Chains A and B, each alone.
Chain A
């Protein structure tokens, strides 16, 4: 009897992995070259823990298709283990009672110490962890081709005035000053940068997080719209519908001088074998130096019935925050790790600066959620803002004053 007991104990100790092997199904849209490599790393790490990885990739439009799939899966009562959900949408899913509680894992992994508190808050519903952050993107970057700038006699701008001056010089020298892709989210990204620059982080917060009507219709908001209108003069007429990476390509090829885009643009430069700081410059969008508009990718975990799958799910959550995954993933994606203690020596100069700025901004008001990337408000507010901004940007007759009013009204209408 005793021997059998001992044997059983030995077996259970010797085979803890296989005994707890479960399956994780991860719904994501990491499908491009670099992202796919990153996702494969996660898969490998999870599989090393003895679990089965069921890949569920759905690309398209920043996860729009994936959200459709997720909703239908949830309605059919058969959600995946984990899904790429971010920002305030995590709260929406939490409210539906579908998300799993990760407090145990968080406690073991000391997430409280590891994660910046602003990030941790996004990952929680009702004070419990329901999601795990993967990376931090900075949205308010300006990408510059120094060679083009030199030819035009322009210098990298620090303020909006310098930005327009540089744009004028580029235009005079026959370059397209700003490479842009006319898709709603890109228009929204540029608009958001102008707002952050002109209104400052505090009023940005009031406008896009608190949705304060007074700030939304303020003179400064009108100025932000006016700046967006002015930008039209500095982009080429064929921008409509262009993918952001083709716009980046225009800067790489020296047709255009700069691009206003988040740090995922770096992957394009890297793919073209360009070196940060030498072949291209990354500077904070003019006037937003102390600010950091963040876009955090995260995996939300769904409630599962199967005990083993739940174990696998917890292991997945643990793995995401491991330094190895954080490094590989973020180097491929252009973003920075969410772990404050990550060793940044292997990263390029843009990422290093991003990390330093992030830590600095996190101390004060500077760290702000990106509206264009679904971090500041729910998808319905985001959609309403996109409609107003993109319509304004594509209408040469549009009036900034009117647009600010429409913005407030549109946000009001979806509340």
Chain B
């Protein structure tokens, strides 16, 4: 609701608005700044200075060490994230299409079951899921891990697409059906082309979730196929030995960089997608 009726003018009210917004910016940015500053400090510097002191001697050794520790795992994450995101988005789109345009007895119940499912704490499913994967012969394979991500990402992707398609006039689909268009034709010709915003939302959301996942990665991947979050944990969370906070912070930034970049570059589409109906529950 850009308020066209109110011409922006520099009043006390507007100053207060800007001040509040800028203050909020500072609060949101502080942790990032602290992490950045810390990653460029030497361990001695970290011990003696405080959070916001500038590094006494600016060093990239933290970044170099962190990159050496996690770079091999970066590619693993990509191999897991790309198929998992694409498959779960596609399935979510089809599900959303059926649940909004082709309802049948029980479809609403299914949607309810699915929504409830997304509240299931994932720790609960670790053992039965690994048992199932073992039976399927997929234990400790990247395929297995992708499957797990698809299964547990489904609730949200379906929710996104269903809510988006619900706002599409059903008359459009009915007319196409009378013209003899089939299930997939309607989906491919009519709905998919208008779904770009919601596809963006879904891709960004799934990318963030799966890239940041630690629990499934550590349990369902093994050794050389572990994702970058597990490598980060191995670096940061070691129980014995000297702690190097500069390396920890640098590694955290490296591991978080892809999602950060996606948010900064694609944030616009994210908002546009949300605007176009994802949130019209």
Contact = CB atoms under 8 A, between A and B. Distances in A.
| A and B, direct touch (CB closer than 8 Å) | yes
B246 to A, nearest CB: 14
B131 interface: yes
Contact of B139 (A32, A60, A77): A77
B243 A245 contact: yes
Interface residue SS majority, chain B = helix
A135 B220 CA distance: 30
Contacts of B9: none
Given A56-B223, A65-B218, A73-B139, A333 B233 contact: no
Q: Which of B223, B224, B233 has the most CB of A within 10 A?
A: B223
A57 B234 contact: yes
A75 B239 contact: no
Contact of B233 (A65, A243, A264): A65
Contact of B230 (A54, A58, A72, A77): A58
A304 to B, nearest CB: 14
A65 B219 CA distance: 9
A415 interface: no
B223 A267 contact: no
A69 B234 contact: no
Contacts of B133: 76
Contacts of A213: none
A271 B134 CA distance: 43
A72 B127 contact: yes
A59 B239 contact: yes
A387 interface: no
A31 B134 contact: no
Contact of A253 (B47, B134, B140, B233): B47
B47 A61 contact: no
A61 B139 contact: no
B57 interface: no
Interface in A59-102: 59-63, 65, 68-69, 71-73, 75-78, 80
Nearest to A249: B47
A333 B237 contact: no
Interface string B212-235: 000000111011100000100111
A272 B241 CA distance: 11
Given A73-B139, A76-B140, A55 B239 contact: no
Contacts, number: 97
A69 B237 CA distance: 16
Contact of A76 (B131, B218, B224, B243): B131
Contacts of A245: 240-243
A35 interface: yes
B222 A56 contact: yes
Contacts of B7: none
Given A56-B223, A65-B218, A69-B218, A333 B47 contact: no
A65 B131 CA distance: 18
Contact of B235 (A31, A253, A268, A333): A31
A59 B238 contact: yes
B126 interface: yes
A333 B219 contact: no
A76 B130 contact: yes
B224 A59 contact: no
Contacts of A271: 241-242
Contacts of A246: 243
B238 A35 contact: yes
A25 interface: yes
Contacts of A272: 242
Contacts of B222: 25, 54, 56, 73, 80
Contact of B130 (A61, A73, A249): A73
Given A55-B223, A245-B243, A75 B237 contact: no
Interface string B31-48: 000000000000000010
A76 B131 CA distance: 4
Q: Which of B126, B140, B239 has the most CB of A within 10 A?
A: B239
Interface string A257-279: 00000001001100110000000
A58 B126 contact: no
A68 B219 contact: yes
B223 A59 contact: no
Contact of B242 (A60, A77, A267): A267
Contact of B127 (A63, A71, A253): A71
A35 B222 CA distance: 20
A271 B242 CA distance: 7
A336 to B, nearest CB: 15
B140 A78 contact: yes
A268 B243 CA distance: 9
Contacts of A73: 130, 139-140, 222
Nearest to B127: A75
Top 10 A-B residue pairs of the complex, sorted by shortest distance between their CB atoms: A32-B241, A76-B134, A76-B139, A72-B130, A32-B238, A271-B242, A76-B130, A59-B234, A60-B237, A56-B223
Interface of B: 47, 126-127, 130-131, 133-134, 139-140, 218-220, 222-224, 230, 233-235, 237-243
28 contacts: A25-B222, A29-B238, A31-B234, A33-B242, A54-B223, A55-B224, A58-B234, A59-B234, A59-B235, A60-B233, A60-B237, A61-B239, A68-B218, A69-B218, A72-B127, A72-B219, A73-B139, A75-B130, A76-B133, A76-B139, A76-B140, A77-B134, A245-B241, A245-B242, A245-B243, A246-B243, A267-B240, A333-B240
Given A35-B238, A59-B233, A76-B131, 14 more contacts: A31-B234, A31-B238, A32-B242, A35-B240, A55-B224, A58-B233, A60-B239, A65-B218, A245-B240, A245-B241, A245-B243, A253-B47, A268-B241, A333-B240
